[in-house]
Amino acid sequence: MRTPADLQADIGEILLTEAQIQARVAELGAQISADYGGRRLTLVSVLKGSLPFMADLMRSISLPLQIDLMEVSSYGGSTTESSGLVRILKDLSSSIEGEDVLICEDIIDTGLTLNYLVRYLGGKKPATLRICTLLDKPARRLVEIPVDYTGFTIPDQFVVGYGLDYGELYRNLRFVGVLKPEVYADPG
Ligand code: IMP
Ligand code: MG
């Protein structure tokens, strides 16, 4: 069993501190509030990774706002490589037709997940459809994605924390950090 101390010890470098993340999320919220100019916004969170990000971002946005949740899987088990396969595990609960929709993602890596989601949600005829991602890893992009709001652009490293997982763990860390390489080798 991994204790909380073990999980902290698995992190090599802290890439983004809690303070850095909170400051940037506040900036994004202010920018989004200004850009949408009093219109009503629907935030669509892509579970599970974007849960903390959406929870903080929505409270930084001063617009009439509704949320909906989708869950998709693009990675099987605890691997760190995209399978390219996207499966909908949980669909929207309300219609987004005619709504201003902002997709809220944790990280864009290959872009395969969002490429699928943009086409899927676009088919539901929202008035506008934009993308907000906390992290962008452009080095590994396989498909081009028009990203409207980016929290941080990061190097090609596998990161965990603030929603991001490895083998479903580490999501509850308050910061974003790089896993020590030996963690991949030792599942136990
Ligand atoms: P994409 O389809 O390759 O763009 O992958 C997007 C999804 O892969 C994200 O929503 C994450 O769930 C996962 N992912 C990609 N890179 C990382 C990472 O560095 N750490 C944790 N999860 C990641
Ligand atoms: Mg995700």
Give the residue whose CA is nearest to atom 16 of ligand 1. Answer: 109
What percentage of the chain exceeds 70 in pLDDT? 93
H helices of the chain, in order, are 4-9, 18-36, 51-58, 112-122, 181-185
Atom number of ligand 1 nearest to Cα 164: 21
Q: From CA 146, how far away is CA 79, in angstroms rounded?
A: 26
What percentage of the chain exceeds 90 in pLDDT? 82
Q: Which two tokens stand for residue 25?
A: 């999320």
Q: From CA 63, how far away is CA 126, in angstroms rounded?
A: 18
pTM assigned to the model: 0.92
User: Which residue out of 74, 87, 184 has the highest number of ligand 1 atoms within 8 Å of its CB and is therefore the one to mutate?
Assistant: 74
- When pLDDT is averaged across residues 38-60 and rounded to a whole number, the result is 96
| Residues tagged active-site | 109
Q: How confident is the model at residue 183 (pLDDT cuts 50, 70, 90)?
A: confident
- Judged by its nearest atom, the ligand closest to the C-alpha of residue 135 is 1
Mean pLDDT rounded to a whole number for the chain: 92
Q: Is 103 in the pocket of ligand 1 (CB under 6 A)?
A: no
| Full set of structural domains in the chain with CATH | 21-155 (3.40.50.2020)
Q: Is 110 in the pocket of ligand 1 (CB under 6 A)?
A: yes
Tell me, what's the pLDDT at 139?
94
- When pLDDT is averaged across residues 102-107 and rounded to a whole number, the result is 98
Work out whether strand 100-108 and strand 128-136 pair parallel, antiparallel, or are unpaired.
parallel
Question: How far apart are the CA of 104 and the centre of ligand 2, in A?
Answer: 10
- Per the DSSP assignment, residues forming a β-bridge with 61 are none
Question: How far apart are the CA of 38 and the centre of ligand 1, in A?
Answer: 32
Tell me, what's the pLDDT at 5?
80
* Other beta carbons within 10 Å of 7: 16
Tell me, what's the pLDDT at 77?
47
Q: Which residue has the tokens 């100019």?
A: 37
> What residues contact residue 46 under an 8 Å CB cut-off, 6+ apart?
70, 71, 72, 103, 104, 105, 106, 113, 117
Q: Is 106 in the pocket of ligand 1 (CB under 6 A)?
A: yes
Query: Is residue 142 within 8 Å of 28, Cβ to Cβ?
Result: no
Q: Is 133 in the pocket of ligand 1 (CB under 6 A)?
A: no
Q: Is 159 in the pocket of ligand 1 (CB under 6 A)?
A: yes
Q: From CA 158, how far away is CA 126, in angstroms rounded?
A: 33
- When pLDDT is averaged across residues 14-18 and rounded to a whole number, the result is 98
